[in-house]
Amino acid sequence: MKIAAIIQARCGSTRLPGKVFMDLEGEPMLVRVINRVERAASLNSVIVATTVEPADDQIAEFCAARGWPCFRGSQDDVLDRYYKAAVVYKVDGIVRITSDCPLIEPAIVDRVVEKFRANQTEIDYVTNSRLAPLTYPYGLDTELVSFEALKRTWTEAKEPSEREHVTLYIYRHPEIFNISKLDNDVDCSYMRWTVDTKEDLEFVRRIYEHFGHDQFSFQQVLGALEQHPEWLEINNHIRQKEV
């Protein structure tokens, strides 16, 4: 069974355009996300899924220069982009990651994949987010969907929101799909670790400046925030856009 992370990335962003190339301690954010995901031992490959829009030529060119697999598809129909990327790269299990999560945790990716592999005949979808109660910081979102479930979603999902948000149709229909959830031992859902605004970027830069590299763990970030709780004030007023 081939398990691959597919990282969706584009240069267009309503609140923070071009954020994937914004600097985090000497490297673009996209590099930091890929570096961290690649450290997940359970993955066979890591693929970038960008769009066919001219603005995203630079992402495709950047990936080619770095030797990273890259698929280009629809800008708005992200579900179609994921499905076709999975077909092209012959993936059996798709780990969905977004490129605005530079604190993504490889150990969590491994736990999600492990849960899926141990129950792959019974589970269609595993998530550490999306379903209440949330326990991880927003920005460590990791989802795994089987190719069969992704194909069914691609075939049946019709609403624009269900095409834009890849797994929305799945967790809206627990009567169709077998869903499993991974929870954290402590509720950290009040923390915001994603990058969607200038404040988010400032918060994440504090983390990267503190460590000076991208090889820190989820637990080490929590330790840094215990020492510097004021960092959480930087972006705690930001609210995520609703589906």
Residue 121, Cα to own-chain centre: how many angstroms? 24
pLDDT in tens, 84-98: 999 999 999 999 999
Decide: residue 144, CB within 10 A, 0-12 exposed, 13-18 middle, 19+ buried: buried
E strand or H helix at 155: helix 147-156
Structural domains in the chain (count): 1
What is the model's pLDDT at position 242?
Answer: 65
Angle, helices 198-211 vs 218-227, to 10°: value is: 100
Q: Is 131 exposed, middle or buried (0-12, 13-18, 19+ CB in 10 A)?
A: middle
- Indicate whether 241 belongs to any domain: no
User: Would 154 be classed as within a structural domain?
Assistant: yes
In a domain, 146, yes or no: yes
Q: Is residue 7, in this structure, part of any structural domain at all? A: yes
User: What CATH number should be reported for the domain holding residue 104?
Assistant: 3.90.550.10
Task: Determine the pLDDT at residue 241.
Answer: 66
Ranges assigned E (strand) in 60-210:
70-73, 93-98, 125-127, 143-146, 179-181
Q: Is 209 exposed, middle or buried (0-12, 13-18, 19+ CB in 10 A)?
A: exposed
Tens digits of pLDDT across the chain (243 residues): 999 999 999 998 878 999 999 999 999 999 999 999 999 999 999 999 999 999 999 999 999 999 999 999 999 999 999 999 999 999 999 999 999 999 999 999 999 999 999 988 899 999 999 999 999 999 999 999 999 999 999 999 999 999 999 999 999 999 999 999 999 999 999 999 999 999 999 999 999 999 999 999 999 999 999 999 999 999 999 987 666
Confirm whether 240 is domain-assigned.
no
The pLDDT value recorded for residue 13 is 81
Residues facing 93 on adjacent strands: 3, 146
Residue 168 lies in a domain: yes
Q: Assess contact for 22 and 202: CB atoms under 8 A.
A: no
pLDDT in the model for residue 120: 85
Per-residue pLDDT reduced to its tens digit, 191-232 = 999 999 999 999 999 999 999 999 999 999 999 999 999 999
What's the pLDDT score for residue 198? Answer: 96
Is residue 82 a contact partner of residue 8, using CB atoms and an 8 Å limit?
Answer: yes
Range of the domain at 19: 3-233
